[in-house]
Amino acid sequence: MTPNEILEEVKGQFQVLYIKDDNLYEILLKKALGVFQNRAGVIASINIDEKGKTEIDMPEDFLSIVTVCDENLRYHESIVTIEKIKVKKQASTIWPLTIHYFVNLRDYNFDKDLPKSVNLSLFIEYLTVIIETANTARAKEIFITMGISAQTELPSIEELKQRKDNIESIIDDSQAILPPILVM
């Protein structure tokens, strides 16, 4: 699923959305992606299959190198430039080379499917609670302006913050596992 598809699914869960500003939804989506980037870390991989080839173009979602290894999981040094990732070849290098890197979710294309390593249900749950928090705050403002008491009908901001903190704790526990390598 793409971030935009997830956003529309989450917005569809609410009976009433008091927030009409689409820019705010984009900001909240970007915030949720940033939380996943910082707390869980999302790792993607690219293979260099062609024997002798030691560089590739920079992936559009690249954040930073995790590690580079060959077919036997032997560590290889790499150099990252603005446009390329270059792997330092060793005498014992066996292709394919695998480049593992952290994905830049904060600047991710909202119309591109999220990497498979993103826990979609957890991401949806997190996005839902931050949208619900903003929506509840806006609803309370509207109710106060209209002179309506809605204290019992709406969840408290403190309850929503606690739910958000609990989800963030679960996100922390789901950190990306670094791939194995051999250093010789």
Residue 182 banded pLDDT, cuts 50, 70, 90: low
Element (H, E) at 124: helix 120-146
Encoded amino acid at 94, one letter: I
Q: What is the per-residue pLDDT across 65-114, written as a single tens digit (0 to 9) for each?
A: 999 999 999 999 999 999 999 999 998 999 999 999 999 999 999 999 99
Encoded amino acid at 22, one letter: D
- 3-state SS string for 6-37: HHHHHHCCCCCCCCCCHHHHHHHHHHHHHHHH
Q: What's the average model confidence in pLDDT over 13-22?
A: 93
Give the residue, 167 or 182, on which the prediction is more confident: 167
Query: What tokens appear for 173 in the block?
Result: 């526990």
Place of tokens 């394919």: 96
User: Do 69 and 179 meet the contact criterion of CB atoms below 8 Å apart?
Assistant: yes
Helix then strand then coil, % of the chain, to nearest 5: 40, 20, 45
What is residue 167's three-state secondary structure?
A: helix
Among the listed residues 105, 103, 106, 113, the one whose alpha carbon sits nearest the alpha carbon of residue 65: 103
Q: In what order do the strands lie in the sheet with 97-103?
A: 43-48, 97-103, 62-69
Q: What's the average model confidence in pLDDT over 133-158?
A: 83
Q: What's the average model confidence in pLDDT over 158-178?
A: 93
Among the listed residues 29, 112, 106, 113, the one whose alpha carbon sits nearest the alpha carbon of residue 62: 106
Mean of all residue pLDDT scores within the chain:
93
Burial of 21 (0-12, 13-18, 19+ CB in 10 A): exposed
* Residue 150 CB neighbours (<10 A): 13
Residue 150 banded pLDDT, cuts 50, 70, 90: low
Encoded amino acid at 16, one letter: V
Residue 184 banded pLDDT, cuts 50, 70, 90: low
DSSP secondary structure letters along 130-156: HHHHHHHHHHHHHHHHHT---TTTS--
Judged against a pLDDT cut of 80, whether residue 183 lies above it is answered with: no
The predicted pLDDT at position 8 comes to 97
